[in-house]
Amino acid sequence: MKNRDAVYLAFNGCGAAVPTKSDVDHYNLLKGWDANPNPNININFIDSHDKVCRARDDILTEELKLLIKEKLKKAKIILLVVTKNTVNQSEILKYELSEAIDKLKLPLIVAYTDIQTIKSANEKMRKDLPLVIQERIKKSEVKIMFIPFKLDAIRCAMKIFSIDKVKDINNGVYVYKNIETWD
């Protein structure tokens, strides 16, 4: 597929019609980083959530599925924001991740908002992920990188971990073992 040069941002909308009851604050921070004209900060992601501006996150229509598929086809990677809410996946998040992993074979970067440094992907971290990802990790059906939700970690992961760059090692699970801090 051509034009696969963007990052598809995913987060749990928590089935909330009220954005403050979801993980939207992390999404807004990423939008701010993306809008920054400084090339050292800009991250160039597809605004996947403009598609649901008038839809509740628990309503998955055929029209919405088509929009998601269209945007996923342009992506080279999925960036999933992981918070305490993420394990309770919404229907839209489940659909986005299933399409990305199963149909398009996109690698996944999971960025944890409450962890400063990740040297291994332990069982607790894996249990914080949506079930759709947990199942695929167990079967080695996803290439996934675990990082903290830090600008430098996200930028670094996006440079080396994408559909055209990732190699199949470590059963598809990756971390930055040698990084002491991202601050």
Measured CA to CA, the distance from residue 34 to residue 18 in angstroms comes to 23
Which letter does DSSP use for residue 38 in this model? -
User: Could you give the CA distance from residue 24 to residue 30 in angstroms, rounded to a whole number?
Assistant: 10
- Count Cβ atoms below 10 Å from residue 88 Cβ, excluding itself: 12
Q: How far apart are CA 153 and CA 169, in angstroms?
A: 20
In CATH, what class is 6-174?
alpha beta
Q: pLDDT digit string (tens) for 165-179?
A: 666 555 677 777 666
CB 88 within 8 A of CB 14: yes
CA distance 7 to 109: 10
Query: 26-75: per-residue pLDDT in tens?
Result: 888 888 888 887 777 767 666 655 544 444 545 567 888 888 888 888 88
Q: How far apart are the first and last CA of the chain?
A: 36
Query: What residues does each domain of the chain span?
Result: 6-174
Q: What mean pLDDT is predicted for residues 92-113? A: 92
Measuring CA to CA, how many Å separate 106 from each of 22, 61, 96, 140?
Answer: 25, 23, 11, 13
Angle subtended at Cα 124 by Cα 163 and Cα 152, rounded to the nearest 5 degrees: 45
Residues in Cβ contact with 114 at an 8 Å cutoff, skipping those fewer than 6 apart = 83, 84
- pLDDT of 15 reads 52
Higher-pLDDT residue of 79, 88: 79
Q: H/E element holding 158?
A: helix 151-160
How far from chain centre, in Å, is Cα 11?
A: 7
pLDDT of 36:
81
